[in-house]
């Protein structure tokens, strides 16, 4: 028997009007609440609901969260927490669950003491998900009963009702994103799996499962890491050679700020540090990272001096030396985080810097004193880095003099454009001399420059700077762009605002593309961040009959165009040409299909998620060639690295 929870407050009507106005605002400007209404915004809905369950888990009341993708496009997020309260709110006069789903920012209203640390980048609450869902059903198991209520586009369509008995407690939310709002409605397994895995690492001990019912056979993966950040770092280093078996780990808090860190050094040369605040990836760093870095550099220098590792008394290890080969995850929890920066992923709270510095300094010193073997490995690595830095500085000076990196003599192979304005200029990096020749003839020489690259460029992932700068193709790219590299890089000096990678549509082409992306990612990350790096999209086929011709960029288009031409009737057969390389196109075809700004498609490269990007680069750049080829063939679309 269904029993309705009746609103008893006389203000109910007036309050409801305010509520609906709030949710209407969300539907009017969804981007303000979830960032976008395309792929990212769509996935954000799931994160928003999951974040609420994570909060419940962090409060100590829930240890399992299950996410299920259904065939009809809806998603269910179920947890075994206390269940959202169903009793009438003393002031608002409506059930707590209704309040949570219809009032913006109603999240913490019941539980003032709850340490609410989660909340996606936007952290707007589950009412936003409700407003942007065609339909949403919430089921709460609490007090022995199963309660349910349903909404349509944020409006209550079925009031809170007891639908049966319940053995345990928990909250289940099922929602179907509204096609009136979203341009993309299909969830991507890999995207959700990445974020849920990350959440499971960041919140050790919480079991998060993902199930996809959309395919012929259901797919399921469970993320549960009792070791938390320790396992996160081991996962990031799984393809590397660690210098000490177990990551350094500590977790401490001071003045209500919680600091959780795991670090492990490996035998590579890059730093991989990922920082989070309240489960949010702080791509742009901030005060927590600054505090961490200064404590790390100071502590390692202190121990190095005490242990007589530094022969000259005045010699110090730089921060870069200390961090060479370091993989680190830093997670801080702050009550009222201030996010700054271009993408609002930089922590601004000034009080955090000193606290992180103190905690990391104390804990790190203690750890190194208790683990002399680990201390030795870390310090020897840093001392090696310092020596290499000195050698590299000399090599770089030599290279600069030789190649004219400094006085900017443009490489001989570069066919430059004639305009002076970088904002209008494009640089095509073209695979091979023959395609380079066609591109030079086919281009608009006013604003398009061509740099042909011969063969494979150096894999910069596993090379130190002196070798990188010794490579002729790489030097040509650096001088052509003209903005320097690494700490010397200055985007103001970039000679082009579009750097377009144009490689063959085959495995070797894909490999060269990844090598170039790796190079930009490691040596000129600002260039990617500025949105200056692109990938050209050459056609795969030419389909022609008589004087009519089409260029097909994928298999579907080929089939489509072929059908169209066949149905046309008339004389002659449909001729199909498959382009194995750019070199097979004449200059005019290359212009029409790939270079003409009016008709071409170019994909902008962005670092959507530094963790995943670096992981992918590592997978591709490992020592083993075969898996790399397989991977490239299977993943030509680069979903994780590129956000287009
Ligand atoms: C406020 C108070 C209480 C639970 C929750 C919120 C809650 C919210 C969500 C959202 C998803 N899952 C959730 N689980 C719990 C409990 C108050 C009490 O029982 O004393």
> What was the pLDDT predicted at 546?
86
Identify the three-state secondary structure at position 136.
strand
Of the pLDDT bands very low, low, confident and very high (cuts 50, 70, 90), residue 635 is very low
Architecture of the CATH domain 406-538: 3-Layer(aba) Sandwich (3.40)
Residues whose CB is less than 8 angstroms from the CB of residue 465 and which lie 6 or more positions away in sequence, other chains included = 392, 395, 396, 486
This prediction has a pTM of: 0.69
162 and 146 Cβ atoms separated by less than 8 Å:
yes
| Complete DSSP assignment for 64-90 | EEEEEE-TTS-EEEEE-SS----SBPT
Mean pLDDT calculated for residue range 46-60 = 95
Residue whose structure tokens are 């700004």: 597
Question: Has 508 been annotated as catalytic?
Answer: yes
pLDDT greater than 50 at residue 108: no
Residue 207: C-alpha distances to residues 201, 213, 401, 616 (Å): 10, 19, 57, 25
Mean pLDDT calculated for residue range 281-286 = 95
| Ligand 1 pocket list (CB less than 6 A) | 52-53, 56, 79, 81-82, 84-85, 110-111, 171
Q: Which two tokens stand for residue 34?
A: 């979830």
pLDDT greater than 50 at residue 5: no
**Domain boundaries for CATH 3.30.230.10 within the chain:** 229-391
Task: Name the closest-CA residue to atom 19, ligand 1.
Answer: 82
Closest atom of ligand 1 relative to the 62 alpha carbon? 14
Task: Name the closest-CA residue to atom 5, ligand 1.
Answer: 84
Question: Has 506 been annotated as catalytic?
Answer: yes
CA of 67 to the centre of ligand 1 (A): 18
| Helix H or strand E encompassing 221 | strand 219-223
Highest mean pLDDT among 104-108, 175-179, 578-582, 616-620: 175-179
CA of 171 to the centre of ligand 1 (A): 8
Q: Which two tokens stand for residue 145?
A: 């009963």
- Ligand 1 site-directed mutation target among 46, 48, 55, most atoms within 8 Å of CB: 55
Could you tell me which residues are beta bridge partners of residue 340? Answer: 346
Q: Which two tokens stand for residue 637?
A: 């679309």
Architecture of the CATH domain 24-223: 2-Layer Sandwich (3.30)
**Domain boundaries for CATH 3.30.565.10 within the chain:** 24-223
CA of 85 to the centre of ligand 1 (A): 6
Q: How far apart are CA 521 and CA 486, in angstroms?
A: 10
Tell me what percent of the chain is helix, strand and coil, each rounded to the nearest 5: 40, 20, 35
Q: How far apart are CA 499 and CA 476, in angstroms?
A: 14
Q: Which two tokens stand for residue 169?
A: 């407690």
Closest atom of ligand 1 relative to the 81 alpha carbon? 14
Q: How large a percentage of the chain has pLDDT more than 70?
A: 85
Task: Name the closest-CA residue to atom 12, ligand 1.
Answer: 53
Q: How large a percentage of the chain has pLDDT more than 90?
A: 65
Q: Which two tokens stand for residue 642?
A: 């590129």
Tell me how far apart the terminal alpha carbons of the chain are, to the nearest angstrom.
Answer: 52
> What was the pLDDT predicted at 475?
87
Task: Name the closest-CA residue to atom 4, ligand 1.
Answer: 84
pLDDT greater than 70 at residue 612: no
- 10: burial class by Cβ within 10 Å (0-12, 13-18, 19+)? exposed
Fold of 229-391: Ribosomal Protein S5; domain 2 (3.30.230)
Question: Has 87 been annotated as catalytic?
Answer: no
Q: Which two tokens stand for residue 450?
A: 């061509």
Mean pLDDT calculated for residue range 587-608 = 89
CA of 399 to the centre of ligand 1 (A): 62
How much is the mean pLDDT over the chain?
86
CA of 526 to the centre of ligand 1 (A): 42
Q: How far apart are CA 405 and CA 494, in angstroms?
A: 13
Residue whose structure tokens are 């909060």: 55
Task: Name the active-site residue from 431, 609, 612, 618.
Answer: 431
pLDDT greater than 70 at residue 113: no
Dihedral sign, Cα of residue 415, residue 417, residue 420, residue 423: negative
Of the pLDDT bands very low, low, confident and very high (cuts 50, 70, 90), residue 258 is very high
Q: How far apart are CA 557 and CA 553, in angstroms?
A: 7
Angle between helices 287-306 and 350-370 (to 10 degrees): 30
Task: Name the active-site residue from 362, 508, 584, 643.
Answer: 508
Task: Name the active-site residue from 271, 284, 506, 643.
Answer: 506
DSSP annotation of 242: B
| Complete DSSP assignment for 406-444 | TTTPPPTT-B--S---GGG-EEEEEESHHHHHHHHHHS-
Identify the three-state secondary structure at position 342.
coil
Question: Has 431 been annotated as catalytic?
Answer: yes
> What was the pLDDT predicted at 408?
58
- Ligand 1 site-directed mutation target among 171, 174, 206, 208, most atoms within 8 Å of CB: 171
Task: Name the active-site residue from 353, 461, 504, 609.
Answer: 504
**Domain boundaries for CATH 3.40.50.670 within the chain:** 406-538
DSSP annotation of 594: I
CA atoms within a 13 Å half-sphere pointing along the CA-CB vector of 576? 14
| Helix H or strand E encompassing 322 | helix 319-323
CA of 430 to the centre of ligand 1 (A): 57
CA of 52 to the centre of ligand 1 (A): 8
- Ligand 1 site-directed mutation target among 52, 62, 66, most atoms within 8 Å of CB: 52
CA of 111 to the centre of ligand 1 (A): 8
pLDDT greater than 50 at residue 423: yes
pLDDT greater than 90 at residue 643: no
pLDDT greater than 80 at residue 312: no
> What was the pLDDT predicted at 293?
98
Residue whose structure tokens are 């001071």: 254
pLDDT digits (tens, 9 = 90+) for 196-226: 999 999 999 999 999 999 999 999 999 999 9
Closest atom of ligand 1 relative to the 108 alpha carbon? 1
pLDDT digits (tens, 9 = 90+) for 486-528: 878 899 999 999 999 999 888 788 788 888 888 898 889 899 9
Q: How far apart are CA 348 and CA 284, in angstroms?
A: 11
Taking the CB of residue 417, how many other CB atoms lie within 10 A of it? 22
Closest CA to 356 of 473, 259, 225: 259
- 325: burial class by Cβ within 10 Å (0-12, 13-18, 19+)? buried
- Ligand 1 site-directed mutation target among 96, 110, 145, 174, most atoms within 8 Å of CB: 110
Q: Which two tokens stand for residue 136?
A: 């949403």
Q: Which of these ranges, 289-298, 374-383, 478-487, has the smallest mean pLDDT?
A: 478-487
CA of 109 to the centre of ligand 1 (A): 10
Q: Which of these ranges, 6-10, 357-361, 373-377, has the smallest mean pLDDT?
A: 6-10
């Amino acid at each position: 028997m269904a029993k309705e929870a009746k609103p008893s407050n006389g203000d109910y009507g007036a309050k409801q009007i305010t509520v609906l106005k709030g949710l209407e605002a969300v539907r009017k400007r969804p981007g303000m609440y979830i960032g976008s209404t395309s792929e990212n915004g769509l996935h954000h809905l799931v994160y928003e609901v999951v974040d609420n369950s994570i909060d419940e888990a962090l409060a100590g009341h829930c240890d399992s969260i299950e996410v299920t993708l259904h065939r009809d496009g809806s998603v269910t997020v179920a947890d075994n927490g206390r269940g959202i309260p169903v009793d009438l709110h003393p002031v608002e006069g409506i059930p707590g669950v209704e309040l949570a789903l219809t009032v913006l920012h109603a999240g913490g209203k019941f539980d003032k003491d709850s340490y609410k640390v989660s909340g996606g980048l936007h952290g707007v609450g589950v009412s936003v998900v409700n407003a942007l869902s065609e339909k949403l059903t919430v089921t709460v198991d609490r007090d022995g009963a199963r309660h349910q209520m349903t909404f349509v586009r944020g409006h209550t369509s079925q009031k809170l009702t007891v639908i049966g008995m319940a053995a345990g407690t928990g909250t289940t939310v099922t929602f179907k994103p509204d096609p009136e709002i979203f341009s993309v409605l299909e969830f991507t397994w890999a995207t959700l799996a990445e974020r849920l895995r990350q959440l499971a690492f960041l919140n050790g001990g919480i079991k998060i499962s993902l199930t996809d019912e959309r395919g012929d056979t259901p797919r399921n993966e469970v993320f549960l890491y009792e070791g938390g950040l320790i396992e996160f770092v081991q996962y990031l280093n799984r393809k590397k050679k660690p210098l000490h078996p177990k990551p350094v780990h500590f977790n401490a808090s001071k003045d209500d700020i919680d600091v959780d860190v795991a670090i492990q050094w490996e035998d590579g040369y890059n730093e991989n540090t990922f920082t989070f605040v309240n489960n949010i990836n702080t791509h742009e760093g901030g005060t927590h990272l600054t505090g961490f870095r200064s404590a790390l550099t100071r502590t390692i220098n202190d121990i190095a001096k005490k242990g007589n590792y530094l022969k000259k008394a005045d010699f110090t290890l730089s921060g870069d030396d200390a961090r060479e080969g370091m993989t680190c995850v830093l997670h801080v929890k702050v009550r009222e985080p201030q996010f700054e920066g271009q993408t609002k992923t930089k922590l601004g709270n000034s009080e955090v810097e000193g606290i992180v510095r103190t905690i990391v300094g104390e804990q790190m010193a203690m750890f190194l004193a208790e683990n002399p073997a680990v201390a030795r490995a870390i310090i020897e690595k840093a001392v090696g880095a310092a020596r290499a830095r000195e050698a590299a500085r000399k090599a770089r000076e030599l290279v600069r003099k030789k190649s004219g990196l400094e006085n900017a003599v443009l490489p001989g192979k570069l066919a430059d454009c004639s305009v002076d304005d970088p904002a209008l200029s494009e640089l095509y990096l073209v695979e091979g001399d023959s395609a380079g020749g066609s591109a030079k003839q086919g281009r608009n020489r006013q604003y398009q420059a061509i740099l042909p690259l011969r063969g494979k460029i150096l894999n910069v992932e596993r090379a130190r700077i002196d070798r990188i700068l010794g490579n002729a193709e790489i030097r040509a790219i650096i001088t052509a762009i003209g903005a320097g590299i690494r700490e010397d890089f200055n985007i103001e000096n970039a000679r082009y605002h579009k750097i377009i990678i144009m490689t063959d549509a085959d495995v070797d082409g894909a490999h060269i593309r990844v090598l170039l992306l790796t190079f930009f990612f490691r040596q000129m990350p600002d260039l990617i961040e500025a949105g200056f790096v692109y990938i050209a999209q050459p056609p795969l086929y030419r389909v022609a009959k008589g004087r009519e011709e089409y260029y097909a960029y994928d298999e579907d288009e080929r089939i489509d165009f072929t059908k169209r031409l066949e149905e046309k009737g008339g004389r002659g057969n449909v001729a199909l040409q498959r382009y194995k390389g750019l070199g097979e196109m004449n200059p005019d075809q290359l212009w029409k299909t790939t270079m003409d700004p009016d008709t071409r498609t170019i994909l902008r490269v962005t670092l959507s998620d530094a963790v995943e990007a670096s992981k992918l680069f590592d997978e591709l750049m490992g020592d083993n060639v075969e898996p790399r080829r397989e991977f490239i063939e299977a993943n030509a679309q680069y979903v994780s690295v590129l956000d287009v």
